[in-house]
């Protein structure tokens, strides 16, 4: 599933490429990707001849502001992609479910093989009632700057194991399996350390590792794994997977100490760590 760096990469691309454009036509295949709407006509009528303003993000949700105060919400789910096309003559990728055609030319296509993602239009004021998850999101590690002491207070309040806590969207928004492993390695902390057991120095290391790892991942335009399901707006894969220190590197030497990276099960998921560098 795309995590914060991948969604932020797409957000920045969208803000440059589609902000200010007017939607001339909308084509929809099936209802699965627009399932919050009663029918295709309702979805299409709320988008045609509407102008897209800026593009923002809440956690892993993309928010395209429309004129008259509405928002086009996009959640990529497990395998969703937003792809720019120059026009209808470009072949449609398989599993294309929604196509927005702009009056100025060009298209925005929503592709989703597994169809866990979705698009819907809602009034900005109704966003949190439509998506209850958004009403309870934790802080955004890229946008919400805080002191390490405040971060430490939040850790101590939760008294939870570090990896599940980093992946808890109610605590911090946007971090998933990949980046929680990379952050914990950078901080030198085990996945099962309790959040209220950290020293002041460890709190500082964890906060710095979180911010720096995510910023570096955005710089490299996200991580594309072996299936290459994550692609940016231009159809290109990310590059941060080449920088991974532990994720999906079982049996390979640690880049820091040369010990073998091990795979462990955390909450039913495969997680990766260095048993020597993380304590």
- Tell me whether residue 279 is in a domain: no
> In which band, very low, low, confident or very high, does the pLDDT at 247 lie, cut at 50, 70 and 90?
very high
- Tell me whether residue 215 is in a domain: yes
> In which band, very low, low, confident or very high, does the pLDDT at 124 lie, cut at 50, 70 and 90?
very high
- Known active-site residue 93: no
- Tell me whether residue 44 is in a domain: yes
- Known active-site residue 141: no
pLDDT digits (tens, 9 = 90+) for 35-71: 999 999 999 999 999 999 999 999 999 999 999 889 9
Catalytic residue among 84, 204, 256, 269: 269
In the chain the beta strands, taken as DSSP E runs, fall at 23-28, 52-58, 61-66, 70-75, 81-85, 96-102, 107-111, 118-123, 262-266, 269-273
Q: What is the CATH number of the domain that holds 124?
A: 3.20.190.10
Catalytic residue among 50, 60, 109, 249: 60
The overall average pLDDT reported for the chain is: 96
- Known active-site residue 164: no
pLDDT at 132: 87
Q: Are residues 102 and 173 in the same domain?
A: no
Q: Are residues 156 and 240 in the same domain?
A: yes
pLDDT at 133: 86
Q: Rounded CA gap, 254 and 276, in Å?
A: 9
> In which band, very low, low, confident or very high, does the pLDDT at 218 lie, cut at 50, 70 and 90?
very high
Residue 105 structural domain: 4-135
The mean pLDDT value for 164-185 works out to 97
The mean pLDDT value for 208-235 works out to 96
- Tell me whether residue 154 is in a domain: yes
Q: Are residues 188 and 225 in the same domain?
A: yes
Whose tokens are 């594309």? That residue is: 224
Q: Indicate the pTM of the whole model.
A: 0.95
Q: Are residues 152 and 260 in the same domain?
A: yes
Number of domains in the chain: 2
pLDDT at 48: 97
- Known active-site residue 113: no
Q: What is the CATH number of the domain that holds 198?
A: 1.10.8.50
Q: Are residues 109 and 23 in the same domain?
A: yes
Kindly report the number of other CB atoms within 10 A of residue 100's CB atom: 24
- Tell me whether residue 143 is in a domain: no
Q: Are residues 125 and 166 in the same domain?
A: no
């Amino acid at each position: 599933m795309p995590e914060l760096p991948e969604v932020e990469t797409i957000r920045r691309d969208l803000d440059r490429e589609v902000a200010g454009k007017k939607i001339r036509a909308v084509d929809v295949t099936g209802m699965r990707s627009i399932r919050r709407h009663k029918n295709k006509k309702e979805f299409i009528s709320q988008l045609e001849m509407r102008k897209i303003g800026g593009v923002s993000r809440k956690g892993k949700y993309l928010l395209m502001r429309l004129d008259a105060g509405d928002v086009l919400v996009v959640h990529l789910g497990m395998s969703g992609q937003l792809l720019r096309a120059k026009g209808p003559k470009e072949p449609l990728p398989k599993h294309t479910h929604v196509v927005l055609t702009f009056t100025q030319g060009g298209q925005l296509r929503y592709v989703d093989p597994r169809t866990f993602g979705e698009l819907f239009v809602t009034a900005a004021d109704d966003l949190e009632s439509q998506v209850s998850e958004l009403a309870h999101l934790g802080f955004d590690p890229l946008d919400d700057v805080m002191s390490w002491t405040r971060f430490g207070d939040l850790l101590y309040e939760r008294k939870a194991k570090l990896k599940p806590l980093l992946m808890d969207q109610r605590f911090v928004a946007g971090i998933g399996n990949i980046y929680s492993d990379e952050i914990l390695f950078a901080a030198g902390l085990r996945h099962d350390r309790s959040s209220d057991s950290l020293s002041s120095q460890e709190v500082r290391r964890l906060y710095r590792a979180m911010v720096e790892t995510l910023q570096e991942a955005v710089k490299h335009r996200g991580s594309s794994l072996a299936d290459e399901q994550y692609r940016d707006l231009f159809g290109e894969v990310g590059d941060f997977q080449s920088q991974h220190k532990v994720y999906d590197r079982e049996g390979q030497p640690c880049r820091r100490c040369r010990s073998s990276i091990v795979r462990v099960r955390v909450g039913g998921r495969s997680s990766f760590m260095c048993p020597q560098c993380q304590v």
